[in-house]
Amino acid sequence: MAADLKVSRLTKVRRLMRRGSSNSSARSASIAKEQQHSPPALNSRQPRRSASLTKLAEVKEQQLHCLDSTDGAVQTNNNNEHRRGSATASQPTADRRSETLLSGARQPGTATSSTSALIDLPTPVSQKPQPILTVEEPTPDPIAPARTSADDHTEDARESLDLAHPLPSPQQSSVRSRPIAGTVRRQSLVNSSNARVVKSLLDQEQRPTTASSQEGYFAPSTFDPNMMHRKIWVKRPGASATLVQIREDDLVDDVRDMILRKYANSLGRTFDAPDLTLRIVPRDASRDRERLLEPEEEICRTLDHYFAGGQHVDEALLIDIPQRRTPKPSPRAGPGHQYPYNFDEPSRPVENGTDYFGTAAMAHSPAALTTVSHDSRASHATQNPAQHPHDRAMAVLTTGVVPPLPSPGGRTRTHQVARPRTTRTHTSSPTTIVNPGFSTRPSRQRRDSTASDSRPGNPATTRLKRRPQTDKPRHPQPQTASPPPRPKRPARESADPSPPPRSSRDTLSAPIHGPARQLSPPINVLIVEDNIINLKLLEAFMKRLKVRWATAMNGRAAVDKWRGGGFHLVLMDIQLPIMSGLEATKEIRRLERVNGIGVFSLNGPASSGTPGVGGHAAAGGAADGAADAESGGHIVGEEDRLEAEKLFKSPVIIVALTASSLQSDRHEALAAGCNDFLTKPVNFVWLERKVKEWGCMQALIDFDGWRKWKHFSEDQVTPKAIDKSQKNAAARPAVDEKQENERETGRGRKEEGAAGARGAGSDGSAEAGERDGSEIRENEEAEAETETEDHAQR
Amino acid sequence: MARATDHPEDRVSHADHTGSPIQIELTDGMQSEEGSTGLPEAGDAIDTATFEQILEMDEDEDEREFSKSIVFDFFQQAEATFDKMDAALETRDLEQLSQLGHFLKGSSATLGLTKVKDSCEKIQHFGANKDETGTRDEPDDDVCLKRLRKTIEQAKQEFHDVEKVLRRFYHDE
């Protein structure tokens, strides 16, 4: 085993030597040969020697002369075909070494002594300075230099050995042809499958002509780089870059296709290739200017033009998408419409990022301009965080310009209490779990809400720092072809809606709760679930989402609570005792219908400014003429009359929870009037998404209420509020302090509505207020007592 | 592939315990972390993805207060439900059995206790005079009861198995 290693190392070194010679001597065969003889001089430096080496040396002697440098290289290629791919861990080292060897070889007098020198160790030490050698050698194997002119026999022997032990011995794969310059790296992440590609790309420059007659049929030098696929960086503005694979002769139009494939979950759902435009941000802003790529351009040519030396990740092409239309019309534009409103998946706001809440969420930032290497693959070296500066990425992450991307394995449980982990399944797509090994990336500081605040504007400042142009591409820099640490969902991240409603809440509660508050829309969720286990979990989850919630353990209670008003979202278990979730849903829909609750109810913005009218009537429980008018002409039976009507700005969103995997159950739920459904076990990521989506939508619908709320929050303790809370407290002393607080601080909107009911001072107002107070709980005070707390049930 | 899972409907349609690509994928992705968190190794009895998201709710990874309370509540609930099932078996109350099965299915699904959940689903179906998958009717009460008896025993066994694992996980043995 040890011998094997040594042998391979020897061969490697020998090859290095050849390569070095070819470089330095302008590929003159004779010179190269001469140089090959030189290694012995080096050998002499090494005091130790191993038995295996000596053996090999014998063979070497015979065929030493039939080697020509080019031949040797080719043969090496052939022989090492299978190993070439393996990471060139020692490549740089080898590089350096070969250099040293080479220079040693040039010393007059040593050049001719090759064969004999191999055997006798104590040959005079070469003049070359030694420190380099010792320092750089990956393994202080003295034997190596001696091998430099090993012949075919050795090759064969080694090959078989290698086959037997395909261990990832340090390879010199691309060393031969690579220019030696600058710093030397010792590691490479080149994947075995790609190293060859990388190599042939690199080799191409230095060795335009190779003796094809000498090559094996799968000799790598026949590999035409032009036939290869190439990967280019693209990204959505403000999001993280990703690679798409293209062919060398692809047009921009083809690239768009590939992009859509890559962004299958976001862009691919909504857009066709012609919809996309690609922007290129030149590295040198002074010379070129940012521009759109035309579909018929040859992408590779363009890239090469703009990014000489290869495209770096920071130079990703920007994917622009057309501005989409405004969100779909609200569920029920007019009274009497169909209730079931299944939000069409492709138009989800969350998915499409900019559209729902404007472009502010996505900063269109010029890509940072940096350069790394010629081959686009070379830029993958960034994958190795230890080796390659990740600074810009870090800057992005830490400044929140681009929301930090949850890393695959990086789901920490401790550091963040404000919200649920979203890493896993925002897309639930398998592709999101790439490279679990990268769990240590700093990106695990997941996006949090501050991202949306800081996003507009500043990306440019943080990212435009130009990296000094170095001769990076010339470095024997580790090449890697394994997939880059792709952010999990570039598109999604930036798509995180930051609804206007949030800000209202932020201003309200930010001092207390910090940014976590911004994460969810200011909505109120009713959880209907009969199983205490599930209930507890959902409650805990709501708590984390920082949304308010109330609970009901059966369908009847759910309807009653809903009648209290103020709910935006109902998570409805389908199979419930007393009244099933479906029945409850139907009942709610029916009540909404007869009460004319809709987005543009006659009762809406106009009358909300005049507290007391609708609420008063409602509180009185009288279906008088005014009530008729309000409900769109329906005669609303007394029992169906919703009190505190102002709390019903729009039909509530009902999301069915079902443990059933049967499709029919789902259809049933939708038919009953549910807007959406989730299956148990509820995936929290999904749940969060639903809450956000629907909640944001509701918050938008209820813009009026939100505005009031905002207004309210600006001067938090208005006389009116104090007045009211005092009044309420007087009216029902039982109401505890927390509820009062909650009303004061959190629920401006509700406040407004409740004010309408109570403001008139009618008898019914107290009742309305009481229900209101008892049902709406501020999330902070959440406990397991929920199931008992159910005023409406009695 | 990726997009197939993006819609809840898709997700659900794949989401049987046996082979959802999503779930498998997730579980795989989490493997590395599981090692560090000491998530109970219970084979396919526990869906790690689901259970893990409960663990994530814990504020303190040592105490695991929240998840522990949930899990131990579930133990109680399961025991109580099994008792009720036994009673219902005696009275041949199929409907009650179906409801109980559904009930326990809900919470076991939430915890990711896959095996228990599956058995409970069967109980639910058998109790509803259906076959195992709930697709065909099985009018014969005796057949259903017989199946129920067997399945309930199985569910109990599965529950106790997983209970052991979980108790060990929470250092409560």
Question: What would the 3-class secondary structure string for A493-540 be?
Answer: HHHCCCCHHHHHHHHHHHHHHHHHHHHCCCCEEEEECCCHHHHHHHHH
pLDDT 10s digits, A158-168: 444 444 444 44
Distance from the B129 Cα atom to the nearest Cα atom in chain A, whole angstroms: 17
- Report ipTM for this prediction: 0.77
Q: Evaluate if pTM is beyond 0.95.
A: no
- Phi, psi values for residue A320, rounded to 5°: -105, 140
Could you check whether the bond before residue A331 is cis, i.e. omega within 30 degrees of 0? no
The residue to which tokens 């940014």 are assigned? A515
* Residue extents of the structural domains in chain A: 2-222, 228-493, 523-793
CATH class belonging to A523-793:
alpha beta
**Best residue in B1, B5, B6 for a mutation probing chain A (most A CBs within 10 Å):** B6
Q: What's the pLDDT score for residue B81?
A: 92
Give the model confidence (pLDDT) of A676-699 as tens digits.
888 877 888 888 888 888 777 776
**Helix (H) or strand (E) run with residue A246 in it:** strand A241-247
Least confident of A102-111, B64-73, B75-84: A102-111
Residues in contact with A595: Cβ distance below 8 Å, sequence separation at least 6, in sequence order: A631, A634, A636, A640, A641, A642, A645, A648
Nearest CA in chain A to B71: A533
Q: Does the pLDDT of residue A527 top 80, yes or no? A: yes
| A468 vs A255 pLDDT, higher one | A255
Name, in order, each residue with C-beta under 8 angstroms of A207's C-beta and a sequence gap of 6 or more: A22, A27, A73, A177, A221
Contact A433 B25 (CB under 8 A): yes
Pull the structure tokens for residue A199: 């190599």
Q: What does the pLDDT read at residue B82?
A: 92
CA–CA distance, A471 with A485 (Å, rounded to integer): 24
Residue A231's pLDDT band (cuts 50, 70, 90): confident
pLDDT band at A9 (very low <50, low <70, confident <90, very high): low
In the beta sheet, which residues pair with residue A319? A278
**Residues B60, B160, B172, CA angle at the centre, nearest 5°?**
35
Average pLDDT over residues A103-126: 42
Rounded to 10°, the helix A69-79/A152-164 angle is 20
Distance from the Cα of A327 to chain B's closest Cα (Å) equals: 19
Answer whether residue A92 shows pLDDT above 90.
no
Q: Judge: domain B65-169, CATH 1.20.120.160.
A: yes
Q: Where are the domains of chain B?
A: 65-169
pLDDT at A266 (0 to 100): 79
Measure the CA–CA gap between A275 and A64, rounded to whole angstroms: 63
Count interface pairs A-B at CB distance under 8 A: 159
Distance from CA of B109 to the nearest CA of A (A): 5
Residue A273 pLDDT exceeds 60: yes
pLDDT at residue B79 in the model: 92
Which residues, including other chains, have CB under 8 Å from residue A202's CB and lie 6 or more apart?
Answer: A174, A177, A178, A375
pLDDT of residue B83: 92
Q: Measured between beta carbons, which residues in chain A are less than 8 angstroms from residue B37?
A: 413
What's residue A395's pLDDT? Answer: 39
Q: How far apart are CA A340 and CA A354, in angstroms?
A: 26
Q: What order do you get walking across the sheet with A317-320 strand by strand?
A: A241-247, A229-235, A317-320, A277-280, A291-292
Alpha-helix residue ranges (DSSP H) falling in A67-108? 69-79, 81-84, 91-106
Report the residue of chain A nearest B112, measured CA to CA: A681
Question: Which residue is closest to B60 within chain A, CA to CA?
Answer: A414
Tokens 């259906």 — which residue? B130
CB contact under 8 A, B30 and A436: yes
* In contact, A73 and A155? CB cutoff 8 Å: no
The residue of chain B with its CA nearest to that of A576 is B103
Q: How near does any CA of chain B get to the CA of A302, in Å?
A: 31
Question: How far B25 CA sits from the closest chain A CA (Å)?
Answer: 5
In this structure, the dihedral spanned by the alpha carbons of residues B53, B57, B60 and B64, taken in order and rounded to 10 degrees, is: -70
Residues of B within 8 A of A534 (CB-CB) are 106-107, 110
Is the predicted pLDDT of residue A405 greater than 90, yes or no? no
Q: Chain B residue closest to A489 (CA)?
A: B2
Residues in B closer than 8 angstroms to A421, CB to CB, are 53, 56
| CATH architecture, domain defined by A228-493 | Roll (3.10)
